[in-house]
Structure 1
Amino acid sequence: MDKNQTSPKLLQAEFPPAQKEQVLANPPSRKRQLDSNEDTVPQAKQARTTHPTSEPARLTRQNLARFNKMGKKKCSDPSDHSRSTKTKTTSTTSTGFADKARKNGILDPHGSRLAKNLEDIRQQQAKSRATASPTESVYNDYVDRVDRAGNESTIIVATSKRLLKEYPTNYPDAYNRAFTNLPKNAGFNNGLSAPQPDFIEGLEKEEYRPFPVDDYIPRATLYQDDPRSITLPQIAGEWKGPAGDIREARIQSAYDGAAMVHARNKALAYMGKEEPPGHASVITFTTDGTNFNLYAHYAAPSEEDEGALEYHQCLVSTTNLTGSYKSFKEGRKHLRNAQDHARAHSYALKDQLKEHYKQQRGGGLHPVATGVPPLHVPGIEPLDAYEDEGDYEVVEH
Structure 2
Amino acid sequence: MARSRTEADVSFLMDLYVMKDYDLPYTSIRNATITNTPSQDSRDFNYGLSDPRPNILQGISVQDLPSHLQHHSLYREEPGLAFSHLAIEFKKRDGNLHQATYQAAYYGAVLVHARARALAEARANGTGTASTATLDKAAAETAVLTCVTDGQVAAVYRHHHCSRDGRYHQTLVARESLLSHPNRGRELIRNAQDFARRKAYQLARLMGADLKEEEEEDGAVPVRARERALVTEVARGAKTPDGTAAALDKAAAAAAAAETSGPPTGSSLYFASSPVPWSVR
TM range (shorter): 0.5 to 0.7
- Checking the alignment, whether the CA contact within 8 Å between 2:154 and 2:176 is kept in structure 1 is yes
Letter in 2 for 1:154: D
Q: How far apart, in 1, do the equivalents of 2:155 and 2:111 lie?
A: 18
Q: How far apart, in 2, do the equivalents of 1:163 and 1:354 lie?
A: 33
Q: CA deviation at 1:213?
A: 3.4
Q: Deviations over 1:346-387 (max 9, x none)?
A: 1111111126xxxxxxxxxxxxxxxxxxxxx995344x34x9
Partner of 1:55: none
TM-score scaled by length of structure 2: 0.68
1:328 alignment partner, one of 163, 175, 182: 182
2:116 alignment partner, one of 265, 272, 280: 265
Q: Deviations over 1:226-253 (max 9, x none)?
A: 2x40112011111110231110110011
| Map 1:71-150 → 2, pairs under 5 A | 146-150=1-5
Q: List runs of 5+ in structure 2 lacking aligned partners.
A: 124-134, 226-281
- Checking the alignment, whether the CA contact within 8 Å between 2:54 and 2:89 is kept in structure 1 is yes
Counterpart secondary structure, 2:68: coil
- Checking the alignment, whether the CA contact within 8 Å between 1:236 and 1:283 is kept in structure 2 is yes
Q: CA deviation at 1:172?
A: 1.5
Partner of 2:213: 380
Cα-Cα RMSD = 2.5
Q: How far apart, in 2, do the equivalents of 1:183 and 1:276 lie?
A: 20
Q: CA deviation at 1:296?
A: 0.8
TM-score scaled by length of structure 1: 0.49
- Checking the alignment, whether the CA contact within 8 Å between 1:284 and 1:295 is kept in structure 2 is yes
- Checking the alignment, whether the CA contact within 8 Å between 1:234 and 1:345 is kept in structure 2 is yes
- Checking the alignment, whether the CA contact within 8 Å between 1:188 and 1:258 is kept in structure 2 is no
- Checking the alignment, whether the CA contact within 8 Å between 1:265 and 1:275 is kept in structure 2 is no
Q: How far apart, in 2, do the equivalents of 1:202 and 1:277 lie?
A: 18
- Checking the alignment, whether the CA contact within 8 Å between 1:278 and 1:299 is kept in structure 2 is no
Given the superposition, is the C-alpha separation of residues 166 and 395 from structure 1 closer, same or farther in structure 2, using an over 3 Å criterion? Answer: closer
Given the superposition, is the C-alpha separation of residues 289 and 270 from structure 1 closer, same or farther in structure 2, using an over 3 Å criterion? Answer: same
- Checking the alignment, whether the CA contact within 8 Å between 2:112 and 2:159 is kept in structure 1 is yes
Q: How far apart, in 2, do the equivalents of 1:177 and 1:350 lie?
A: 22
- Checking the alignment, whether the CA contact within 8 Å between 1:170 and 1:204 is kept in structure 2 is yes
Matched, 1:236 2:87: yes
Q: List runs of 5+ in structure 1 lacking aligned partners.
A: 1-145, 215-219, 304-308, 356-376, 388-392
Q: How far apart, in 1, do the equivalents of 2:49 and 2:137 lie?
A: 26
Partner of 1:139: none
Matched, 1:342 2:196: yes
Q: Deviations over 1:6-37 (max 9, x none)?
A: xxxxxxxxxxxxxxxxxxxxxxxxxxxxxxxx
Matched, 1:180 2:42: no
Name the one with the larger strand percent.
2
Q: How far apart, in 2, do the equivalents of 1:275 and 1:265 lie?
A: 12
Q: How far apart, in 2, do the equivalents of 1:349 and 1:269 lie?
A: 12
Q: Deviations over 1:65-91 (max 9, x none)?
A: xxxxxxxxxxxxxxxxxxxxxxxxxxx
Q: CA deviation at 1:180?
A: 2.1
Q: CA deviation at 1:224?
A: 1.5
- Checking the alignment, whether the CA contact within 8 Å between 1:290 and 1:322 is kept in structure 2 is yes
Q: How far apart, in 2, do the equivalents of 1:150 and 1:344 lie?
A: 33
- Checking the alignment, whether the CA contact within 8 Å between 2:39 and 2:45 is kept in structure 1 is no
**Highest Rg: 1 or 2?**
1
- Number of aligned residues: 210
Q: CA deviation at 1:183?
A: 5.2
Given the superposition, is the C-alpha separation of residues 153 and 267 from structure 1 closer, same or farther in structure 2, using an over 3 Å criterion? Answer: same
Counterpart secondary structure, 1:335: helix
Matched, 1:295 2:157: yes
- Checking the alignment, whether the CA contact within 8 Å between 1:202 and 1:346 is kept in structure 2 is yes
Partner of 1:20: none
Q: How far apart, in 2, do the equivalents of 1:148 and 1:300 lie?
A: 40
Q: Deviations over 1:128-166 (max 9, x none)?
A: xxxxxxxxxxxxxxxxxx332332211211223211100
Q: How far apart, in 2, do the equivalents of 1:213 and 1:395 lie?
A: 34
Q: How far apart, in 2, do the equivalents of 1:164 and 1:279 lie?
A: 25
- Checking the alignment, whether the CA contact within 8 Å between 1:235 and 1:284 is kept in structure 2 is yes
Given the superposition, is the C-alpha separation of residues 241 and 351 from structure 1 closer, same or farther in structure 2, using an over 3 Å criterion? Answer: same
- Checking the alignment, whether the CA contact within 8 Å between 2:201 and 2:212 is kept in structure 1 is no
Counterpart secondary structure, 1:280: coil
Given the superposition, is the C-alpha separation of residues 313 and 288 from structure 1 closer, same or farther in structure 2, using an over 3 Å criterion? Answer: same
Matched, 1:190 2:47: yes
Given the superposition, is the C-alpha separation of residues 310 and 320 from structure 1 closer, same or farther in structure 2, using an over 3 Å criterion? Answer: same
Q: How far apart, in 1, do the equivalents of 2:208 and 2:140 lie?
A: 26
2:205 alignment partner, one of 327, 338, 351: 351
Q: How far apart, in 2, do the equivalents of 1:182 and 1:190 lie?
A: 12
